[in-house]
Amino acid sequence: MTDFTETQSSWLSAEDMETARGRLPIVYVNAVPVRTDEAGVVTHVGLLLRIGPDGAANREIVAGRVLYGERVRDALLRHLEKDLGPLALPRIPSSPQPFTVIEYFPNPDISGFYDPRQHAVGLGYVVPVEGDCEPSQDALDLVWLSPDEVVSPTVAAELSPGHEKVVRRALAHTGCLP
């Protein structure tokens, strides 16, 4: 009998993933990790530093695919642990609701969110993180910036395409957009 809760068997080969990306929208989670004060007000936003396929260093939020048979909550936890480390202690509600839905297209003129590989649907979440974070996997660094700093022109220019807009939407959603 097949265990439908097992997500490890749902990884696609590179060839199968390329075929799927060419024919179907792919579902992603986009998580904006934040630190909050005791009243729940966002004080800092966490941004990862990665080297992109073009060799350029970019700041990014936590993002990744939702696997077949995987709950969105589990995908959020998996990607947050993968990128921020096992001691990050994210606070995700039992039934998370996205603050926004982002549509990425291979044509940059359609929505302003661009992914040359695919049509993707990103579910955006603001995730308070309480523990110790260490960049892991392919992340080189993690910085915590105030809302004012994260929307500055200098930091916005360092963010991967589209991530600056997601961060601004997250701060607007939480009432912390400067």
pLDDT (0 to 100) of residue 21: 74
pLDDT beneath 70, residues of the chain: 1-11
Asked whether residue 114 is assigned to any structural domain, the reply reads yes
Residue 12, domain member (yes or no)? no
Give strand pairing partners of 31: 62, 125
Examine residue 131 and state whether it is found in any structural domain, yes or no. Answer: yes
Output the pLDDT for position 118: 87
Q: Give 24-48 pLDDT, tens digit per residue.
A: 888 999 999 999 999 999 999 999 9
Full-model pTM: 0.87
In a domain? residue 178: no
Structural domain total, the chain: 1
- The answer to the question of residue 151 being in a domain is yes
Write out the residue range of the structural domain in which residue 137 sits.
Answer: 26-173
* The predicted structure's pLDDT at residue 123: 98
CATH number where 119 lies: 3.90.79.10
> Quick check: is 1 in a domain?
no
In a domain, residue 87? The reply is yes
